[in-house]
Each structure stands twice: as structure tokens, then as C-alpha cells.
């Protein structure tokens, strides 16, 4: 039998109970029995609570994580800008820009599936701490090579491969770890949006600071600052108090067998498969335009490192706006249509950016592109994390990392090769057209995907009226009590 529970959200809402002031919102939650036997809560809110956009921050572990990310991610974006500028300064080659991007992200494509199995088996926090330490070592070694004047493109390629291996483990594990930091799915969508907001706030600030510092002190100091910035997130991870995950109901299988099971699960269910394929297409054809930014900054817009920083910051500004829009959403319902609109916006913005020869117009188009790109990726992440079974979360998020990060290196190599032949602007325009074609294909299958996801949303309480109906049916069919 379900239970009806009324409770006030004292921590998130204004009002003083001792002074007799009413709260602005009351939450009604109904507990029902899901099809798989687990209790799921149906939430219905009335009113707009003041803390809805940041509700995931009520979780201490997530607050720690986000605080560390603010510092660390700023350094990460500074390094990315400085690295691309260093490569282009040393070689003046669009192809080598693409090759470095390929070398840095290809390992994610190869390692992420195995990392997903590890994330479902092992302590996710310890894995993330280890990856952050290794990423810090990479940044410090790169800084030492640049500051001593010994750096070569070969060094950059090797260190990029090393960091790619680290990220191949880090990204799927960190994505799967989010649900442990917020202790369940209630605030998961908000946590994903807030994490994306911090990521893109860092993308907004980091490149602008890097563009200024490259001209002032050089790339080596930028790499050094990034290495030191990892201390913040490592300290935050160590300070967390994480409840142990309950043991799985099924005995452990060999790694390859569990990997095969994850592939069947993810690609055998049309909504997950379609989301991953669209992410892969956009990441292959659209997202790699970022590796050509130094070409646009210097050869197309006739600027320098400062222009490069402004372009990437514009992309980050749009992405930050998209993440904040998602943070304000109260439900995952309707995200399929949001994904479709976001991919269309991203594709059109890329076509416009490829045609633009004006710095201010290019920056405005990058704001739109950043918004579309972030809304697409974060919305897809939210749906995947909502509908996935807990015992397969790590593996599904590894496929997400493969589709997102794993496709980018191939796209980077393709973009660099195409840009060397037909020019960077034409390459970006082709990428935008490919994204628009992908959006058209997704639009055709979207009604069927929504029909398949709806029962899952009902079971989880995302569709309150359906879940309430399940509760009523359970009460009517239950035997009477004395």
C-alpha cells in the first residue's frame, strides 16, 4: 500500500515557521510501487520556490564537488586555449591542430567502454580522485617542458594521448558518480544542469584569461596554473562522505561479458540508441569546429590570441545560458523537443559562423552555437540518466562519453584535413549542414521515442497524474485490513 506524505521544504524556501509566516511552496509526494518492485516517489510542487534553480546544492557532497570544479575547470579551459595556440604558433598547420585534438580524445573512444564497467563495479569517488591526480601531473609536465624551452609537437602529442586515456576513465565515472552526490534521482537533472553551468562559466572566463596571459607570460605559466587548480577538486573529493552503493542483485560476470550486456541494453532500446547516435553525429561533424578556432582568429578575422579568447568565451557564454535555462526546468518532460530545437539552432549557427567575416557577428553566432550545443548535450545526458537502470548506469554513461568525446577526435582529424584542402569556413559550413540533417532524422523518430519513454516516466513519477493512477489502482486491488 502506498503512503501519502505532506512536507514543507524548509531549507529551500523562504519563511519563518516560528513567526507564523507561510512558506511559498508545498510539496506533495506519493510513494508507489514501480513495475520492477522498487518504491518510486511522485512529486508535485505548487508555486515557484526560490531555490528551485539550485536545489541540488542542498546536498553537501555536491556543494563540495561544484566548489572544486569552479577552480579546476577554469584552469582546464585556460590550458585548452593555450595548447591550441602553442601548436598553431609552432607549426601554423590546421592539420596538426586537428591531429593534436585527435590524439587527445581518441583514447576516450577506446577506453570509455571498459571504464563504464569499472564504474559499475568499483568505488567511483576513488577512481575520480585518481584521474584528477594524473591530469594534474600531465599539466605540470607540459608546463615544465614549455618553461624550459624544450617542448616539441611530439611532446604535445604524447601528453595529449596520456590525458585522453585519463579522460576516458574520468568522464563516464564522473557522470555516473553524480547520482551518488545527490543521493538519488530527485535532484539529478538539476545537478547535471548546475554542473554544466559551472563548466561553461569556466569556459567563459578561462579562455579570456588565457588569451590575456599568453601574451603577458606565455603558455607555460598557463599550464602551471592549470596543474595547481586540480588541488581544489581533489580536496573536495577527499572531503566527501559517500554512502556505499548497495551490492548488485546479479553476480559479477567477466568484464567483456558485462560490456556486451551493456551494449545490448543501450542499443537495444530505441530512445537510448537514438540519443547516442544523434550525439555521435553532432560530435563528429559539428563540435570539432572548435579545433579550428585559431585559424578563424588569425586568418579569417585577422586577430591574435586575444581574439581567440573572445571567440571561445562567446561559445562559453551561450553554453552557460543554455545550462542555466535547463537548471530552471522542473521536469524532464518535453526534453525531446528541446533537443530537436537545440540541434537545429546549433547547425544554423555553424553555417552562419562559417560565412561570417565580422568579429562581432562571429561572436554572436558562437553564443547561439554554444547555447544549442550545451542544451543538446545536457538534455540528452539528463534523459539518459533518468531512464537508465542503476546497475548499468556506468556503462551507459561510458557510451555517452564515447558518443560525445570519442567522436570528437575523429571529427577533429577530419576537420583539420578538410580545412587544409577547402578552408576552415567551408569545413564549418559542411558540419552545420550535417547537424541539420541529423535533426531532420531525429524529428522523424521522436514521436515513437516519446511513446516508449512515457511508461518509464510514469513508473518514476515524472508524470504525476499517471503515477497517481497507479497508486489508486494499487489501493483498490489491495485486500482490506482489519
pLDDT for residue 462: 65
- DSSP 3-state of 43: strand
Angle at 91 between CA 87 and CA 92, to 5 degrees: 95
What cell does 40 get? 518510486
Cell numbers representing residue 265 in the block: 541494453
Q: Is 204 helix (H, G, I), strand (E, B) or coil?
A: helix
Of the candidate ranges 13-17, 371-375, 427-431, 440-444, the one whose mean pLDDT is the lowest? 13-17
| DSSP per position, 126-159 | HHHHHHHHHHHHHHHHHHHHHHTT---HHHHHHH
The more confidently predicted of residues 249 and 6 is 249
Q: Output the pTM of the full model.
A: 0.67
Check residues 88 and 204 and name the one with the higher pLDDT: 88
Tally Cβ neighbours within 10 Å of residue 427: 26
User: Does the pLDDT value for residue 465 go beyond 80?
Assistant: no
Confidence at 1, pLDDT banded by 50, 70, 90: very low
Secondary structure of the chain: what % helix, strand, coil (to 5)?
80, 5, 20
Q: Environment class of residue 341 by beta-carbon count within 10 Å: exposed (0-12), middle (13-18) or buried (19+)? A: middle
Q: What is the pLDDT of residue 407?
A: 76
Distance in angstroms (rounded) separating the CA atoms of residues 367 and 344:
14
Question: Which helix or strand (DSSP H or E) is residue 42 part of?
Answer: strand 39-46
CA dist list (Å): 196 to 324, 382, 430, 432:
8, 11, 27, 23
Residue 29 has what pLDDT?
38
Q: Treating both helix axes as pointing N-terminal to C-terminal, what angle do 60-91 and 124-147 enclose, rounded to 10 degrees?
A: 30
- Please check whether residue 157 is in contact with residue 258, taking contact to mean a CB–CB distance below 8 angstroms: no
10 Å CB burial of residue 398 (0-12, 13-18, 19+) is buried
What pLDDT sits at residue 226?
94
Dump pLDDT digits (tens) for 145-172.
Answer: 999 999 999 999 999 999 989 988 888 8
- Ordered by start, the domain boundaries in the chain are 3-50, 52-242+254-466
Distance CA 276, CA 396 (A): 9
CA distances from 468 to 347, 388, 461, 474, 479 (A): 40, 22, 8, 10, 19
Phi-psi group of 414: left, alpha or beta (phi > 0 → left; psi -120 to 50 → alpha; rest → beta): alpha
Please tell me the predicted confidence (pLDDT) of residue 246. Answer: 64
Q: 323 Cβ partners below 8 Å, 6+ apart?
A: 193, 194, 196, 197, 199, 200, 374, 378
52-242+254-466 CATH:
1.20.1250.20
pLDDT tens string 37-85: 333 343 334 334 445 567 788 889 899 998 888 888 888 888 988 998 8
Give the integer Cα–Cα distance in Å for 354 and 289: 10
- For residue 3, give the C-alpha cell: 503512503
Strands 39-46 and 3-8: unpaired
Please identify which residue in the block is written with the cell numbers 577554469. 74
Average pLDDT, the chain: 79
pLDDT in the model for residue 237? 94
CA–CA distance from 201 to each of 212, 323, 326 (Å)?
17, 10, 14
Q: In the predicted model, what is the mean pLDDT of residues 336-363?
A: 95
The x, y and z cell numbers of residue 339, run together, are 533537443
Give CA–CA dist 253/256, Å, rounded.
Answer: 8
DSSP code for 444: H
Question: Would you tell me the crossing angle of helices 60-91 and 188-217 to the nearest 10 degrees?
Answer: 40
Burial of 218 (0-12, 13-18, 19+ CB in 10 A): middle
CB distance 190 to 63 below 8 Å: no
- Top-ranked range on mean pLDDT: pick from 139-143, 190-194, 327-331, 452-456: 139-143
Backbone φ and ψ for 182, nearest 5 degrees, come out as -110, 5
Question: C-alpha cell of 90?
Answer: 609552432
pLDDT band, very low/low/confident/very high, at 473 (cuts 50, 70, 90): very low
Q: Are 233 and 72 spatial neighbours (Cβ–Cβ below 8 Å)?
A: yes
Measured CA to CA, the distance from residue 411 to residue 163 in angstroms comes to 18
Residue (of 58, 223, 54) closest to 148 by Cα position: 223
- What pLDDT sits at residue 41? 40
Give residue 218's region: left, alpha or beta (phi > 0; psi -120 to 50): left
Sign of CA dihedral 164, 167, 172, 175: negative
**Does residue 373 have a pLDDT over 50?**
yes
Mean pLDDT value of segment 7-14: 35
Residue with cell 530537436: 340
Provide the 10 A C-beta neighbour count for residue 359: 18
Percent of the chain with pLDDT over 90: 32
pLDDT of residue 200: 67
Asked if the model's pLDDT at residue 203 lies above 70, the reply is no
| Nearest of 211, 205, 212 to residue 229 by alpha carbon | 205
Provide the pLDDT confidence category of residue 137 given band limits of 50, 70 and 90.
very high
DSSP state of 53: G
pLDDT, tens digit, 9 for 90 and up, residues 388-422: 887 788 888 888 877 876 677 778 778 888 998 99
Nearest Cα neighbor of 292 from 182, 193, 196, 420 is 420
Amino acid at each position: 500500500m502506498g503512503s501519502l506524505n505532506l512536507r514543507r521544504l524548509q531549507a529551500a524556501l523562504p519563511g519563518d515557521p516560528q513567526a507564523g509566516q507561510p512558506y511559498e511552496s508545498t510539496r506533495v509526494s506519493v510513494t508507489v510501487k514501480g513495475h520492477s518492485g522498487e518504491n518510486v516517489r511522485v512529486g508535485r510542487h505548487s508555486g515557484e520556490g526560490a531555490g528551485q534553480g539550485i536545489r541540488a546544492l542542498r546536498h553537501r557532497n555536491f556543494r563540495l564537488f561544484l566548489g572544486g570544479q569552479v577552480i579546476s575547470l577554469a584552469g582546464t579551459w585556460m590550458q585548452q586555449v593555450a595548447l591550441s595556440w602553442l601548436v598553431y604558433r609552432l607549426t601554423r598547420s590546421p592539420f596538426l591542430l586537428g591531429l593534436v585534438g585527435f590524439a587527445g580524445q581518441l583514447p576516450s573512444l577506446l577506453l570509455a567502454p571498459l571504464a563504464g564497467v569499472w564504474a559499475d563495479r568499483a568505488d567511483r569517488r576513488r577512481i575520480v580522485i585518481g584521474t584528477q591526480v594524473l591530469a594534474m601531473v600531465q599539466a605540470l609536465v607540459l608546463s615544465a617542458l614549455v618553461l624550459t624551452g624544450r617542448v616539441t609537437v611530439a611532446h604535445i602529442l604524447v601528453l595529449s594521448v596520456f590525458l585522453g586515456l585519463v579522460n576516458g576513465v574520468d568522464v563516464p565515472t564522473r557522470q555516473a558518480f553524480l547520482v551518488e552526490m545527490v543521493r538519488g534521482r530527485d535532484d539529478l537533472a538539476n545537478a547535471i544542469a548546475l554542473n554544466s553551468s559551472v563548466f561553461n562559466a569556466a569556459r567563459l572566463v578561462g579562455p579570456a584569461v588565457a588569451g590575456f596571459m599568453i601574451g603577458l607570460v606565455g603558455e607555460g605559466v598557463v599550464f602551471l596554473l592549470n596543474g595547481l587548480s586540480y588541488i581544489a577538486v581533489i580536496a573536495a573529493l577527499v572531503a566527501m562522505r559517500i554512502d556505499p552503493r548497495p551490492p548488485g542483485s546479479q553476480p559479477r560476470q567477466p568484464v567483456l561479458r558485462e560490456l556486451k550486456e551493456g551494449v545490448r541494453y543501450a542499443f537495444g532500446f530505441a530512445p537510448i540508441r537514438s540519443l547516442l547516435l544523434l550525439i555521435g553525429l553532432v560530435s563528429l561533424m559539428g563540435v570539432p569546429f572548435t579545433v579550428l578556432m585559431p585559424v578563424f582568429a588569425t586568418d579569417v578575422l585577422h586577430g591574435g590570441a586575444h581574439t581567440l579568447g573572445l571567440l571561445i568565451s562567446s561559445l562559453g557564454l551561450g553554453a552557460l545560458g543554455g545550462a542555466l535555462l535547463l537548471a530552471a526546468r522542473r521536469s524532464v518532460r518535453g526534453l525531446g523537443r528541446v533537443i530537436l530545437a537545440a540541434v537545429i539552432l546549433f547547425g544554423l549557427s555553424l553555417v552562419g559562423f562559417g560565412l561570417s567575416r565580422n568579429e562581432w557577428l562571429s561572436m554572436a553566432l558562437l553564443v547561439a552555437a554554444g547555447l544549442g550545443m550545451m542544451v543538446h548535450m545536457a538534455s540528452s545526458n539528463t534523459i539518459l540518466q533518468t531512464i537508465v537502470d542503476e546497475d548499468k548506469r556506468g556503462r551507459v554513461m561510458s557510451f555517452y562519453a564515447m558518443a560525445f568525446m570519442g567522436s570528437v577526435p575523429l571529427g577533429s582529424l577530419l576537420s583539420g584535413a578538410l580545412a587544409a584542402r577547402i578552408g576552415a569556413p567551408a569545413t564549418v559550413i559542411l558540419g552545420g549542414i550535417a547537424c541539420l540533417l541529423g535533426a531532420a532524422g531525429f524529428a522523424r523518430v521522436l514521436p515513437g521515442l516519446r511513446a516508449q519513454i512515457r511508461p518509464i516516466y510514469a513508473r518514476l513519477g515524472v508524470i504525476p497524474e499517471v503515477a497517481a493512477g497507479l497508486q489508486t489502482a494499487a489501493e483498490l486491488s489491495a485486500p482490506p485490513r482489519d
